[in-house]
Structure 1
Amino acid sequence: MPLRPSSFAILGAGLMGRLLAVELARQGHRVDVFDAGSAAAEHSAARVAAAMLAPLAESAITTPGVVRMGRHALGRWPQLLAALADPVFFQQAGTLVVWHRQDAAEARRFTRQLEACQRLLPELPALRRLDGQALAQAEPALADRFAQGLYLPGEGQLDNRQLLAALATQLERLAVRVHWHTPQSPAGLAPGAAGQPDWVLDCRGLGARAEWPALRGVRGEVARVHAPDVTLQRPTRLLHPRYPIYIAPKEEHLFVIGATEIESDELSPASVRSTLELLSAAYAVHPGFAEGRILELAVQCRPALPDNLPAIRQPRKGVLEINGLYRHGFMIAPALLDVTLELLNTGQSALAQDFDLALAPAPGPAQPPARRRDMDMTQA
């Protein structure tokens, strides 16, 4: 049964908060959004991201459940983007993985991990091994630079900042009441009481650590480079045992280049050492980056739980907390959106079971111990 018209307070206007606010407002609900920052999402990890949608590539460091979320999201992103008034760059041309000869052992290890995931999830498109000639055909700009590579078909990317801006515009069009520079916590709200929202959805990422102490920050450093001499058709990953990097080509020769993952929630500027390694690795992929212009060196921390997996929990009646997207925010956000909508509409989620998604029910004297795959909110 569809959720009756309700009122929602959404805490946090990063990627997850904006997606939920747009969809709930489109369904006819009253929505208020509270965020500590502005429409520019300057405090959000989503602003500093490559927005790659690469479930098979990420299977090397995550679980089959997250990979299934990524596959689900690849089908959902075109639908979500089509409903926005403003265009957002979206591409689904696969992922290219390359390596230098001295890193062949790392490539063999990585390939074995991907093939193991494909045996578990045969619905994934099969990776293709490329020799030098096939690699040059797939990515002419890299001809004669690498002797072999991998092509992961069906994977994609989008422009994160275009998307955040388009979602902010859509909130205005849908008459969502957005309270910028107004931090809010669940403790300040009493869902269901007179004059209060029916539901509180907490999507604050690291801003929710007071309520979710297990959260930690994982620092990432990203360069945004304009390189007119470089043309890449799709996201490219360079394997290296010490500093693997990704290069995500956006429109008009804009490239998002990243690699670093540091167990820290410290937000000081990028170090000279990590910047040199990042840009040197990009130059090793294509020498045209030497003449590019560094538009920005950005730093942000991703919210992660101890197992690096996302989770949804209901600490009390009328409150849902969605968090722990780690480095997979854009890749899995539509899957978490659909799980949350199922929970709100029916009190249960079949998708969550498909995704092995951690769901914790509301506490209570008769509540059984939480189980990873089960959640029933019909009695909440």
Structure 2
Amino acid sequence: MKIVILGAGLLGRLLACELARTGHAVEVFDAGGPQALDSAARAAAAMLAPLAESAVADDSVVKMGLYGLPRWREMLSKLKQPVYFQQHGTMVVWHRQDQPEAARFAQLLKATQTRLPQVLPLQTLDADGLKQLEPGLAERFHQALYLPGEGQLDNHQLLDALLFELQQLGVALHWHAARQPGDFAPSPTPAPDQPDWVLDCRGVGAQPQWAQVRGVRGEVAMLHAPAVRLSRPTRLIHPRYPLYIAPKENGLFKIGATEIESDDLSPVSVRSGLELLSAAYTVDPGFGEARIVELVAQCRPTLPDNRPAVHRIGARCLQVNGLYRHGYLISPAMVDITLQLMQGDQSVLAQQFEVSVSKQCAAA
């Protein structure tokens, strides 16, 4: 089949690779360039932490995250370029004055474990247990929560590796070429110059055709801090500035926290930058000598219930959107749901993960 994909962010690239590998002729149109600088997928820490995210997400997201961890290993193994992937768990720490907030967080995770016994149970660490897993934290923290089995990957490496894969697979890539579903007339019967399917993965860019999509601003710092010795993603519990620190290769760290109900795409504010960097410094003073590689802000595509959904537009056009802050966590599940919907009216995975799939509606 001839398939058009709108949007070359994370979901668009993953779908294009999966479809091209199975022999379909794939074309990708994107409003930006090949480096995905305007994509929410680039401004992310790419943590794969279903239990940690259960504190702010419902069980359907957790289930998709659990499904995605082994699926990520499978998808990454097919790429010709290496992508940093780690599954050493998540560490959660807090300062003494924030003990009540940490207790509340732990109760939320324990409630998730009760509802979803397939989640690996969290472990409560004392000073000695923390020192064994993260010696660099033991001098400033005397207790922690450890969430085994959680992971992360390097999103910049992944986007580059997917781009290389698309080029090797012969996918037609159209950069700086914004398109919308109404520009095409997909049909089950062959039509000259028209695709068999259109998949709209434009995120916030699809808002004109999906009014419920909104942008939620997030800000991320990338630091080069070779003196910091964190070996796994670490979350700092704080009532006002919850923080995550994701160590990548070669002394690089992704640091984020902010989540603002706004579609503002202006640069990172001084206040947000100070909050991010100051909170990171309290976790490890080694960040005081770090070098700021980049400070980026981007808007994550979000639906009213903060859950992903699929819209059918016409007979052979699917809009997939609303991945919110969970893009890397749930994208493998959303890829497989989309592929199932292209094969029939129903998706077993969509039902399993309670992902909304609308009935066919008029073309936009």
The partner residue of 2:238 within 237, 240, 244 is 240
2:228 and 2:139 map into 1 onto residues whose CA distance is 15
**CA RMSD between the two structures:** 0.8
Q: Which residue of 1 aligns with 2:148?
A: 153
2:361 and 2:328 map into 1 onto residues whose CA distance is 30
Q: Which residue of 1 aligns with 2:286?
A: 288
List per-residue Cα deviations over 1:351-374 (Å, max 9, x = no partner): 11110111111038xxxxxxxxxx
The partner residue of 1:106 within 94, 101, 126 is 101
The offset of 1:268, in angstroms, is: 1.1
The partner residue of 1:214 within 188, 209, 212 is 212
The partner residue of 2:323 within 322, 325, 328 is 325
Number of matched pairs: 359
1:346 and 1:197 map into 2 onto residues whose CA distance is 18
Q: Which residue of 2 aligns with 1:45?
A: 40
Q: Which residue of 1 aligns with 2:299?
A: 301
Distance change >3 Å, CA 363–CA 267, structure 1 → 2: closer
**Larger mean Cα displacement after TM superposition, 307-316 or 186-195:** 186-195
Q: Which residue of 1 aligns with 2:313?
A: 315
The partner residue of 2:59 within 48, 54, 64 is 64
1:2-21 correspondence runs (5 A): 6-21=1-16
1:174-253 correspondence runs (5 A): 174-192=169-187, 193-253=191-251
SS at match of 1:46: coil
SS at match of 2:41: helix
The offset of 1:132, in angstroms, is: 1.3
AA at the equivalent of 2:37? E
AA at the equivalent of 1:24? L
SS at match of 2:19: helix
List per-residue Cα deviations over 1:1-50 (Å, max 9, x = no partner): xxxxx110000000000000000000000100000111100111000100
1:12 and 1:363 map into 2 onto residues whose CA distance is 21
**Larger mean Cα displacement after TM superposition, 29-38 or 269-278:** 269-278
AA at the equivalent of 1:159? D
2:132 and 2:57 map into 1 onto residues whose CA distance is 30
Unpaired runs of 5+ residues, structure 2, are: none
List per-residue Cα deviations over 1:313-359 (Å, max 9, x = no partner): 10211100000000000000000001111111233211111101111
1:92 aligns with 2:124: no
1:74 aligns with 2:77: no
The offset of 1:163, in angstroms, is: 0.3
AA at the equivalent of 2:277? L
1:176 and 1:336 map into 2 onto residues whose CA distance is 21
Unpaired runs of 5+ residues, structure 1, are: 1-5, 365-380
For the 8 Å contact 1:141–1:232, the answer to whether it is kept is yes
SS at match of 1:47: coil
Q: So what's the TM-score if we normalise by structure 1?
A: 0.93
Q: Structure 1: which 4+ aligned runs deviate by more than 3 Å?
A: none
The offset of 1:147, in angstroms, is: 1.6
SS at match of 2:294: strand
Q: Which residue of 2 aligns with 1:377?
A: none
AA at the equivalent of 2:64? M
1:236 and 1:15 map into 2 onto residues whose CA distance is 24
For the 8 Å contact 1:101–1:147, the answer to whether it is kept is no
